[in-house]
Amino acid sequence: MLSYRHIYHAGNHADILKHITMSQICRHFIKKDSPFFYLDTHAGIGQYELNSEQAQKNKEYHSGISRLFSESAVPEAVEGLLEIVRDMNPTDQLEYYPGSPKVVDYYTRQKDKLHLCELHPNDYPLLAALFPQKRKANVVKENGFAAVKAMLPPPQKRGFVLMDPPYEVKKDYQFVVKSLEEGYKRFPQGTFAIWYPVLGRQQADHLLKSVKATNIRNILLLELNVRDTEKERGMAGSGMIIVNPPWTLEQDAREFMPFLSKTLAEDQEANYQITWITPE
Ligand code: SAM
């Protein structure tokens, strides 16, 4: 089943948490001269037109990137994402928002390599058209979970894997954990980031428990809930599970998470967590 289209949600609070975290990971990778590899198991279309009919349907970006775009003083990590957004919107009008491939592409150098998986028959060609240069980015219409097995370890020996499935099928909760175990076995020094939605405490906690049960060390958790997680239906928040995070990420998060929680809050119950699922 492939009914999910990310354009309906582009630029919402969950994208903000995910893309700020990713931008911080990339900033860390480019501190070293040696090339790195990026695997995006669920890449989407790469960038999103916020004036499109789909993005306008629920205007989720209004309570996400729009709120940050108009802020003047923001933490440095937030500035990292805003820099990319401004680069895409040179006239000051917020019209485009980056997807995960564009966030990483902003930081990568010619020597780095992106491998982007997207299965949707309509979304794959859009992503492929955005990255025509095969030498830098390989865009494939393949199952991203299978790519974790096929592409790791990368020849570059340094790398970052993002797993960002839609969770429209419940099995995605199992697939991310299984793929993390498989990927980590092949590439234990790699950085892995798994995004998950908070659609209620129980489901999110079950996922976090399964990740803990893998016994993989050095896993940081960042979770941002913009409203009470139990009161209404729908996505109250989201989280990022990061294996082998940059050593500065926890410290950075102590600055940007309270800021996001305040700026993106939709009710008084907005909250955040910065915890280690397992220490180093
Ligand atoms: N990572 C993107 C970003 O941050 O901009 C958003 C990705 S969206 C949440 C999930 C995407 O995964 C959708 O575009 C969907 O078509 C695609 N998809 C679903 N199952 C997939 C699979 N098994 N392999 C690859 N892509 C898949």
- Residue 1, pLDDT > 70, answer no
Closest residue (by CA) to atom 23 of ligand 1? 143
Measured in Å, residue 164 CA sits from the centre of ligand 1 at: 6
Residue 48 is predicted with a pLDDT of 98
- Residue 55, pLDDT > 90, answer yes
95 burial class (0-12, 13-18, 19+ CB within 10 angstroms)? middle
Options 105, 112, 123, 164, the catalytic residue: 164
Measured in Å, residue 270 CA sits from the centre of ligand 1 at: 27
- Please tell me if the CB atom of residue 100 comes closer than 6 angstroms to any atom of ligand 1: yes
- Mean of the pLDDT values across residues 207-233? 94
- Mean of the pLDDT values across residues 65-76? 94
Name the residue among 166, 158, 168, 164 with its Cα closest to residue 180: 164
Residue 220 is predicted with a pLDDT of 98
Measured in Å, residue 262 CA sits from the centre of ligand 1 at: 29
- Residue 232, pLDDT > 80, answer no
Residue 230 is predicted with a pLDDT of 83
Of 84, 119, 161, 167, the residue with max ligand 1 atoms within 8 A of its CB, to mutate for a pocket test, comes to 119
Q: How many beta carbons lie within 10 A of that of residue 248, not counting itself?
A: 13
- Band (pLDDT 50/70/90 cuts) for residue 244 is very high
Burial code of 53-71, b = ≥16 C-beta within 10 A, e = fewer?
Answer: eebeeeebbebbbebbbee
- Please tell me if the CB atom of residue 172 comes closer than 6 angstroms to any atom of ligand 1: no
What 3-state DSSP class applies to 100?
helix
- Please tell me if the CB atom of residue 18 comes closer than 6 angstroms to any atom of ligand 1: yes
- Residue spans of the domains in the chain: they are 6-278
Give 128-138 pLDDT, tens digit per residue.
999 998 889 99
Give 257-270 pLDDT, tens digit per residue.
999 999 999 999 99
Of 118, 130, 151, 196, the residue with max ligand 1 atoms within 8 A of its CB, to mutate for a pocket test, comes to 118
- Please tell me if the CB atom of residue 4 comes closer than 6 angstroms to any atom of ligand 1: yes
Per the prediction, the chain carries an average pLDDT of: 96
* Pairing mode, strands 219-225 and 271-278: antiparallel
Residue 234 is predicted with a pLDDT of 87
- Band (pLDDT 50/70/90 cuts) for residue 236 is very high
Among the listed ranges 38-42, 115-119, 153-157, 226-230, which one has the minimum average pLDDT value?
A: 226-230
Among the listed ranges 6-10, 41-45, 70-74, which one has the minimum average pLDDT value?
A: 70-74
- Band (pLDDT 50/70/90 cuts) for residue 2 is confident
Q: How far apart are CA 219 and CA 159, in angstroms?
A: 16
CATH number of 6-278: 3.40.50.150
Numbered residues of the known binding site: 19, 42, 100, 118, 143-144, 164
Locus of tokens 């480019």: 30
Is 205 a known active-site residue? no
